[in-house]
Amino acid sequence: MSRHVELDEDRAVTAEQITDSMRRRLGDGLLDSRPAGPTRLYLTVDPAKIVDAADELFNGLGARFVISAGTDERENRGGFRVSHFFSFDDEDLYVALHALVPEDDPRIDSITPIIPGANWAEREIQDLLGVTAEGHPDPRRLVLPDDWPADVYPLRCDFDTRDRPASAEGMAPPMKNRPEGAVMVPVGPYFPTQHEPEAFAVFVEGEVVVDSDYRGFYNHRGIEKLGCADLTYNQIPFIAERICGICGFVHSCAYCMAVENAAGIEVPRRAQYIRTIFLELERLHSHLLWTGVAAHIIGFDTLFMQTWRMREPVMWLCEQLTGNRKTYGMNIVGGVRRDLPADAHEKIEKVIADVEREWSALTDAVPGDRTLIARLEDVGTLTPDQVRQTCCLGPTARGSGVAIDLRIDHPYAAYGELEMEKCVEDGCDTLARTLVRLAETPVAIDIIRQCLAKMPDGEIQATIDEEIPPGLEGIGAVEAPRGESFHWVLTGENNRPKRWRVRAPSYQNLQAIGPMIHGDVLADVPIDIGSIDPCYSCTDRMTVIDRRSGQMRVMTREEILDRR
pLDDT tens for 390-408 read 999 999 999 999 999 999 9
pLDDT of 481 over the 70 cut: yes
Question: Domain locations in the chain?
Answer: 3-173, 234-476
Is it true that 3-173 and 234-476 share their CATH fold? Answer: no
The pLDDT confidence band at residue 242, using thresholds 50, 70 and 90, is confident
What is the rounded distance in angstroms from the CA atom of residue 320 to the CA atom of residue 464? 29
Arithmetic mean of pLDDT over the chain: 89
What is the rounded distance in angstroms from the CA atom of residue 148 to the CA atom of residue 222? 14
* Torsion sign over Cα 531, 535, 539, 545: positive
What is the rounded distance in angstroms from the CA atom of residue 512 to the CA atom of residue 430? 13
The pLDDT confidence band at residue 228, using thresholds 50, 70 and 90, is confident
Q: Which residues fall within 8 angstroms of residue 555, CB to CB, at 6 or more apart?
A: 189
Percent of the chain with pLDDT over 70: 90
CB 314 within 8 A of CB 321: no
pLDDT of 9 over the 70 cut: no
The yes or no reply on domain 3-173 and CATH 3.30.460.80 is: yes
Q: How many CB atoms lie within 10 A of CB 169?
A: 8
The pLDDT confidence band at residue 181, using thresholds 50, 70 and 90, is confident
Strand partners, 160: none
| pLDDT at residue 560, rounded to an integer | 41
| pLDDT at residue 379, rounded to an integer | 95
pLDDT of 538 over the 60 cut: no
| pLDDT at residue 215, rounded to an integer | 85
The pLDDT confidence band at residue 550, using thresholds 50, 70 and 90, is very low
**CATH architecture, domain 234-476:** Orthogonal Bundle (1.10)
Q: Which residues fall within 8 angstroms of residue 364, CB to CB, at 6 or more apart?
A: none
pLDDT digits (tens, 9 = 90+) for 19-64: 999 999 999 999 999 999 899 999 999 999 999 999 999 999 999 9
| pLDDT at residue 254, rounded to an integer | 97
| pLDDT at residue 28, rounded to an integer | 97
Query: Phi then psi for 128, rounded to 5 degrees?
Result: -95, -25
pLDDT of 555 over the 70 cut: no
| pLDDT at residue 2, rounded to an integer | 28
| pLDDT at residue 535, rounded to an integer | 67
pLDDT digits (tens, 9 = 90+) for 95-120: 999 999 999 999 999 999 999 999 99
What is the rounded distance in angstroms from the CA atom of residue 82 to the CA atom of residue 150? 20
The whole-number average pLDDT for the span 230-256 is: 90
pLDDT of 220 over the 80 cut: no
| pLDDT at residue 559, rounded to an integer | 44
pLDDT of 132 over the 70 cut: yes
CB 305 within 8 A of CB 318: no
pLDDT of 5 over the 50 cut: no
CB 198 within 8 A of CB 188: yes
The whole-number average pLDDT for the span 174-181 is: 86
The whole-number average pLDDT for the span 152-171 is: 89
| pLDDT at residue 214, rounded to an integer | 87
pLDDT digits (tens, 9 = 90+) for 363-399: 887 777 888 889 999 999 999 999 999 999 999 999 9
| Burial class of residue 174, CB neighbours in 10 A (0-12, 13-18, 19+) | exposed
